Structure 1
């Protein structure tokens, strides 16, 4: 996870949140978070990179629309990331 960029990490968090989703469904969630609209030329190459790394599974919804689901490795990567973030919080 350390070598992912912030956008790729956001894609993992969104995919975990929405479950199986099309790229456009993921884009809609990101568009509501970011100040600017996410271009599909940015979205799909990053989703493909996460698929290639085994963090997201790519399937098919209707034969022409792809679906994206967080893989078990993706769940583990997010859990490790959250654990690391927690370790950085100051203790009282």
Structure 2
């Protein structure tokens, strides 16, 4: 996870927190968080990066719609990241 951009991490968290979200679902959730529009040319290559890294699986709902699920490796990456973050934040909170 240390080689992921903040955008990739955020997308991974959105996928982890949803039940088989489509690309559009992920886009809408991230647009709410970022308070700005995310174009397809940014979103889908980043989703493909998560798939290629083995953090996310991609399936097909129909001919036009894919869904995304987090893999065990993706869940472990999030757990490792949260542990690392908490090692710095626990003392201050």
Q: TM-score, normalised by structure 1?
A: 0.94
Post-superposition Cα deviations, 1:30-78, rounded to whole Å, max 9, x if no partner, equal 1111121111100000000000000000001123311111111000000
Q: In structure 2, what is the equivalent of residue 12 of structure 1? A: 12
Q: In structure 2, what is the equivalent of residue 3 of structure 1? A: 3
Q: How many residues align?
A: 92
What secondary structure is seen at the aligned counterpart in 2 of 1:18? coil
The runs of 5 or more residues in structure 2 that have no matched partner are none
**Shift in Å at residue 79 of structure 1?**
0.4
Runs of 4+ in structure 1 over 3 Å off: none
RMSD (Å), alpha carbons? 1.3
**Shift in Å at residue 91 of structure 1?**
6.0
Q: In structure 2, what is the equivalent of residue 73 of structure 1? A: 73
- Write out aligned runs for 1:1-92 (5 A): 1-89=1-89, 90=91
The runs of 5 or more residues in structure 1 that have no matched partner are none
1:16 and 1:70 in contact (8 A); partners too: yes
Give the Cα separation in 1 of the matches to 2:21 and 2:36. 21
Give the Cα separation in 1 of the matches to 2:74 and 2:40. 22
